[in-house]
Amino acid sequence: MIPVAWSLGDAPAPTHAAGAGAQTSATDQARLLYNYGIDNVQKADAAQAAAAAATDAGKKSKSSNEASYYYSAALAKFQQAVQLDPKMHEAWNYVGYTHRKLGDYDDALAAYESALALRPGYPEAIEYRAEAFLALNRIKDAQQSYLDLFATNRAVAGKLLDAMKSWIATRKAGSSSGDLTAVNDLDKWVQERAQIAAQTASLTREGASASWH
């Protein structure tokens, strides 16, 4: 998912007038910090992708370290943002995202819950939380997250299904002789859900087309 920064239309522009005492509001400061955090997330995601694609061990290590640095920098910005504006659900979501990327899954889940408490049904938080569930092998919780998203936001549900496919591939590639029963069961479930999604999408398109006649 591509991070979205606050635009000038989302809030009044921060005050930078000359003279003593000119300050931004707490909300404006939080949004500035959020935007700085998003910038770091984009750099971190790019570095992480470079690490995944690298074949040279040195380059892979360098890119991984760079990703960790930027995720940590982003996390600090998002934490500052929610301190200034505790009701900023987008920032809470990215507190969770960056914690998850750094491997702090319990803290990530707590942050996602904060985002969802502020905005129940927030699709991006549900999807990111499901990826944390996968990392913790909470497969049933991840599956339920998909079903919830499928009922409310097909686009984000599709992204979670893709994340599940990647997780399955990683687990299979990293397993030598371990028990992959749960992974194989999820693989079968994902294939079934993908087929259902394709069929219902086709029916929706046919229905929309028919409505013009």
Q: Which of 123, 120, 116, 66 is nearest to 95 (CA)?
A: 116
> What 3-state class would DSSP assign to 110?
helix
Question: Percentage of the chain with pLDDT > 70?
Answer: 82
Confidence of residue 186 (pLDDT cuts 50, 70, 90): very high
- pLDDT by residue (tens digit) across 10-27? 333 333 333 433 356 999
- pLDDT by residue (tens digit) across 93-139? 999 999 999 999 999 999 999 999 999 999 999 999 999 999 999 99
